[in-house]
Structure 1
């Protein structure tokens, strides 16, 4: 598995950050502009990545105020999972997004840049939305 990760400090209690990330309805706010046809519930999100693929993601595990595991609910172009990790950090919270993807050499060359960009974008946007 190839991993892509980014983290940010947010001046909010860990409970508030975890509650926001735990509801997939909120994740639309974290997505870049090339995401469309978004529909979601608290546990599942469906969307299309422009010129790429349709994805259906679901929350498969929640560990209160620590971790949210999101995995494909339907066949994805490659095996992947997203893991949001939250931890109390003094007066605020550290939030970290880790995306693990099973990429062959060709996919790794094509998808590594966009996946890291997505991770960085989501984390930076989380800081703006909750900042």
Structure 2
């Protein structure tokens, strides 16, 4: 299991950060510009990564003001779980950690780890710029 993660402190109450992340419609704003054909509902999102793969994700678990878990609902290039973990840091500050858990063989790990880390970093930083 390969685990890729990053976290950021956001100057918003945990309820506001959770409400944003709990709606898959908002996740389009967190995506880099190589994402196309986005469609979403509150619980699911479908999109293509330009010249790479198509993904369909759904929120499989919501723990209010703590965690949001997304998993693929169709065949993905590899087994994948995405987690947003939230921690209340007090006085309108929330720590948001984005964790990507991926089943990557050695070859895929060598090829995909860098781009996946860039994606995680991008989403965390974009979340802070939108909400912070």
Shared topology, TM-score over 0.5? yes
Matched, 1:95 2:68: no
Structure 1 residues 87-115: Cα deviation after superposition (integer angstroms, max 9, x where no partner): 11022100000000000011001100000
In 2, distance between residues paired with 1:23 and 1:65? 13
Matched, 1:61 2:55: no
In 2, distance between residues paired with 1:111 and 1:51? 14
Give the SS at the match of 1:117.
Answer: helix
Matched, 1:19 2:19: yes
In 2, distance between residues paired with 1:71 and 1:41? 15
Q: Where does structure 1 lack aligned partners over 5 or more consecutive residues?
A: none
In 1, distance between residues paired with 2:86 and 2:23? 14
User: Where do 1:1-131 residues align within 5 Å?
Assistant: 1-91=1-91, 92-131=93-132
In 2, distance between residues paired with 1:85 and 1:19? 13
Q: CA RMSD in A?
A: 0.5
Aligned-pair CA distance for 1:31: 0.2
In 2, distance between residues paired with 1:115 and 1:106? 14
Q: How many residues align?
A: 131
Structure 1 residue runs of 4 or more that deviate by more than 4 Å after TM superposition: none
In 2, distance between residues paired with 1:31 and 1:76? 18
**TM-score (structure 1 length as normaliser):** 0.99
**TM-score (structure 2 length as normaliser):** 0.98
Aligned-pair CA distance for 1:128: 0.3
Give the SS at the match of 1:107.
Answer: helix
Give the SS at the match of 1:116.
Answer: helix
Aligned-pair CA distance for 1:51: 1.2
